Structure 1
Amino acid sequence: MHKIVKSLLLGLAAGILNAIPMALLNTEWEPIVAIILHWLGLAVLLSYARFPLNHWAAGMLFGGLTALPLAVLMHSGIPIIFLQDIVFALILGGFLGYSTDKFINTPH
């Protein structure tokens, strides 16, 4: 399977994991689509870019940084949910960085 397809599948999995709690809370569809697209793009970025960090650390860093604008737009008035989104992005970003290293960048 090509590298971009693997990246998109990992990003889709991460996006779905992040979107499930939002869907259970009856969130509108626009933020859910934005979250899924966010993780799709981040997975491609992490699998093709080379950072001077471990892959899990780069995933956490860029997962948190790229989640900040989404969290501000979606939950600016509710600080606890804003913090929850950032923590979830850090954890999921670390997992995504580790997964891209293990399943995409490491030759088998």
Structure 2
Amino acid sequence: MPKLFKILLLGLAAGILNAIPMAFLSTDWQPVVATLLYWLGLSIVIAYARMPLESWATGMLIAVLTSLPLGILLHPGSALGVLQVLGIALVLGGLLGFTAERLVQDQP
């Protein structure tokens, strides 16, 4: 299986994990789709990023830095909503960085 396909599957899994609570809260479809597309694109960035950090720390850093504008757009008047987006980005970014290194980069 090509590496890019594995990376996109990891991003889709992270996007679904992030979109499930949004779907239960009966959120409009646009933020749900935006979240899915965000994690698909971010999975590629995290998988191919080279930083002098561990893979999980690289994933966390990139996810938090890129999720701040997304959190502000999704929750314009709520600081708690932005913190929630940042917290989810910390967890999913770290998991994505860790699994991308183990499942994608270490494979021949």
TM-score by length of 2: 0.95
RMSD of Structure 2 on Structure 1 (CA): 1.0
The residue type paired with residue 56 of structure 2 is: W
The residue type paired with residue 7 of structure 2 is: S
Q: Tell me the residue number matched to 1:87.
A: 87
2-structure distance, mates of 1:99, 1:53: 15
Q: CA deviation at 1:7?
A: 0.4
Map Cα deviations across residues 18-60 of structure 1 (whole Å, 9 max, x no partner).
0000111011111111111111111111222222111100100
Q: CA deviation at 1:76?
A: 2.0
2:9 partner SS: helix
2:42 equivalent to 1:24: no
2-structure distance, mates of 1:28, 1:8: 24
2-structure distance, mates of 1:18, 1:96: 12
Q: Percent identity?
A: 53
Structure 2 unaligned regions, length at least 5: none
Q: Which runs of 4+ in 1 moved over 4 A?
A: none
Q: CA deviation at 1:103?
A: 0.3
2:107 equivalent to 1:107: yes
| Aligned residue runs from structure 1 range 1-108, under 5 A | 1-107=1-107
2-structure distance, mates of 1:38, 1:71: 12
Give the total of aligned pairs.
108
TM-score by length of 1: 0.95
